[in-house]
Amino acid sequence: MSALFTSQDDIAKLAACFTFDINTSSGDRRDLKHRLKTRINDLPRHLRSEIYSVATSVIFESLHTELKSGIQKMGGLINSFGPDEEITRRRVAAIQEMWTEPWRDVSNERWKYQADQCEACMLSRVATDPSTLRELRTVILAHVELKAYQSWPIILTFLDEWIKLTDKAKILFDTSEERAKEIRYCIDQTKLHRNLKAAQAAKREAEERARKQQAHNAQGLETLPALCYNPTPPLTQDIPNPLFSSTLNRPLSRNEYEFSEAEFLHEFSPNRTFYRASSTIDDENDVTDKYSQDNRLSKTLAVLQKQQVLDQYRYPDTGGGERRSPGTDTLKLQYRH
């Protein structure tokens, strides 16, 4: 509340000064002037004379500000309102024609342009129209509560006082509050819908970015072996593996050969089990243990391995030819028959 209005009684007395219809006939002008002068004399000292014009400007500026803000708020959500709310918005928007230069093809007798721009006169035109008080209070009340004012604007306080001076105060108060709630509901639902759409749009955008990134990564993985893959050469082992070492491609010395054979026999000892899965995919349980279940084969391999070791000592090989002995050939022939 403005510092000019120190009490509710001050507001009530000043509000009463605007409840005279300035559009009365010339015969009633003298009586109107007398009554208005009487009410002004009843005002507190700080609201009379020059200060009175300042108070009028404060009220009018509040009306101008809140009306413009409320109309803009509703105008941005016009598709969210029903016919009643739209009629309210249009009626309130028409009030601005009092201080806005009209278009040539627009004629509104109720809110025709105030040529002298008398602020007190324009406030009086608002204060003496009950339906305008109802619609104006509806829009400003909805707008004010949405903005969460710490204190209501001064124009809303004067609207309440002007409504109290009518013979339909209860109806005007109840109707304006009911319509203000409806407007706030429409605005809240619109905001909720917009937030939901924004969240869905953000989610779709994130999913699209993820899809593009996944496709980009997949494309990069396809070209990776051809463009970027550079296999690291294996480290040189102190003890070469007899199955994969490069020493298998050259003649071995006696010590190297004996060591390789000993490693091979140890790795493939008959005491260790080796399993081979069936080539048939449908039978998952068809697994055979060829070395542990066939005693004849195990014994033959053991004899063969023992004979191979003995042959190495009897017939050492110093060249790169095949290592063979009569003993091993005989054993292989016996096993075949």
DSSP 149-202: -SS--HHHHHHHHHHHTSTTHHHHHHHHHHHHHHHHHHHHHHHHHHHHHHHHHH
Enclosing domain of residue 101: 57-190
Whether residue 64 lies inside any domain: the answer is yes
| % residues pLDDT > 70 (the chain) | 50
Please say whether the beta carbons of 247 and 294 come within 8 A: no
Q: Is the pLDDT of residue 210 over 60?
A: yes
pLDDT band at 171 (very low <50, low <70, confident <90, very high): very high
Q: Which of 199-208, 262-271, 275-284 has the lowest mean pLDDT?
A: 275-284
Whether residue 247 lies inside any domain: the answer is no
Whether residue 154 lies inside any domain: the answer is yes
Six-digit token string for 211: 């899809």
Q: In total, how many domains does the chain have?
A: 1
Pairing of strands 276-277, 287-288: antiparallel
Report the alpha-carbon distance of residue 216 to residue 221 in Å, rounded: 9
pTM across the whole model: 0.53
Q: pLDDT tens for residues 220-234?
A: 555 444 444 455 555
Q: Is the pLDDT of residue 28 over 90?
A: no
Whether residue 290 lies inside any domain: the answer is no
Q: pLDDT tens for residues 144-167?
A: 765 555 577 889 989 999 999 898
Report the alpha-carbon distance of residue 185 to residue 278 in Å, rounded: 72
End-to-end alpha carbon distance in the chain: 119
pLDDT at 43: 66
Report the alpha-carbon distance of residue 109 to residue 128 in Å, rounded: 15
Q: pLDDT tens for residues 62-75?
A: 999 999 888 888 88
The single-letter code of the amino acid at 298 is S
